[in-house]
Chain A
Amino acid sequence: MTVTRVAESRTEFKLKSLPEDAISSIKFAPKSNQFLLVASWDCSVRLYDVSANIERHKYNHELPVLDVCFRDSVHSYSGGVDQTLKMFDLNATSETVLGDHKGAIRCVEFASEVNAILTGSWDGTVKMWDSRVPNCVGTYNQGNERVYTMSIVGEKFVVGTSGRKIFVWDVRNMGHVNQRRESSLKYQTRCIRVFPNKQGYVLSSIEGRVAVEYLDSNPEVQKKKYAFKCHRIKDGGIEKIYPVNAISFHSVYNTFATGGSDGYVNIWDGFNKKRLCQFHRYNTAVSSLSFSHDGSALAIACSQLDETQIEDPKPEDTIYIRYVTDQETKPK
């Protein structure tokens, strides 16, 4: 991958004291754009104070951490290859093991609607946990397929699995699946994020494609769904198609950013089918993205994930914080 280096500008800076291995997930705190949780393959979960650019807390799992989330500004939950769900109290700096899965925990989300934690695992299930005590509230089979991605907004909970299935749940009533769908994309599902307005979700695949889908099954609404190509680079007559690893929504404007293994971040206006902007190319694949709650900052994690398996000098793992403008994120 040839990379053009762009000087850091005022609008963007790199975090200091970064994890020593690839970054799997980053999440901004729910009510401030000061704190950022970072899960990494170096087995650590770190909390950064973005405004001061320092690492505030760090705790470890036994094996790489794949996802992390906030409950409120002082509690974080994380899970990973060690199959264990941990809660960490950031004030008391104490950790509690909430329970485990039979496979690696790929996704961890907080369901504010029911005050519970949801974990999705490669064991083919989603579990719901009481967010305060080690108590698994329920286990929900996802078609016996490994959970690759999930997203929750309000009561709408969408799970994407290894077999390109999509399960739409209502967290208030986990007794049955609301909708069972097949991904409209031909290739492996990489990431799903629900629109902040709960109308639909955005789904990305490893084949440089993103689909915008609507939850309402009314045929009139379903007509609006579409998919588009992105994160592709023409290189000497060959078009390289990259996985779209990350999606993050701007909570105010319902626009979203996508990050691909090509190292680009694009911001899209899904309702108007417009690309709002593209940032400069980052030093390596974008592995995770997170908008702050007010959409003023976008955290961009850059880590190579062995997409090509041939790149020898391993690019540095970095996290950039970019303060975005309305021009970049607001529908025109």
Chain B
Amino acid sequence: MKEVKLFHGPNHPGMHGNFSVHLTVDGDTVKKAKPNPGMLHRGFEKLMERRLWMSNIALIPRVCVPEPDINETVYSMAVEKIEELEVPERAKYLRVIILELARIAVHMMSIGGIGGPTGVYTAPNWALNERDMILDIFEKITGHRIYHMYIVPGGVRQDINEEILEFIENTINDIESRLKDYYEIIFESPIIHKRLKGTAPLTKEQALDWGVTGPGLRSTGVKYDVRKKFPYLVYDKLDFDIPIAEESDAYTRLYLKYLEVKQSIKIIRQVLSDIPKGKVRNKLMGTALKWKIKEGEAYGKVESSRGEFGYYIVSTGGRYPYRIQVRGASYPQGLYGIEAGLPGTRLEDVSIWLDTMGVCSPEVDR
């Protein structure tokens, strides 16, 4: 039969964000796949070179919409490394709270999001509620729901009080009490079992070859997590596990995210009980309009919900960064992975592949 070329996205319910894949299909089987980025391109890396060190904080969260805080963190970490700027202990704990809450929000959206390509529409609606509850916390801490602009070089912008700490605890207790429901409606669902098990397989070699990290790599049996391998902030003081699996398919990857949510809740509980008192921000010299960062270069990286995420920053000692390179966590699977991994997949499984591999389009396109 003759091959047909299809445009998957950007207007497709199984597509996350303004991103599309050009598929060449033979019947229902994908023969060739070509990622087609560009619709979300805003030239972040170039824009950053023309903004003050402080002003960039308002720009970079947009590199990843669902999980903006990792951008602020890696940017701040790299700047702190170059400038040798100490971060107060309390600020480190606060950063962990923010990062883990964001991880829960993204994973819940991903777990619920599988309802889109599989037709189990109850789950996405529930999951958005969980995410919104976390956004309520963000609003309380940072003043905004989506783009927080909270983590800055030298610490965080504002301290939080006991009332907010209590609110966080209540919210995560609440979310945890409903995790069982997701277990039942998604992970025990015969439909999900049928649709996801064995779908979109990924081998260890492929993952290592492409440079996939995060739940994708861990689902193939490689225990790699930046939080454990290269501990940052206070992760070395916290007790948590890295769930891994041996055989990677869509189901395993999704289930790993579910297990990671539980670990994140565990982390947040420890942070809430251990958080020390003290200041939350060390500032750079002078007014923010004049901030300069020493000459030097540094790479700041964290474990995002999709894997290793980092910024490589080069400073020539001026008021603006000289060059910033973003390592998007889903860059490997979003560009190379699609071309190398999608062929052979059935057309209806393309969305499942993209969803469970965690392709975040603004991060690929940036």
Q: Is A bound to B?
A: no
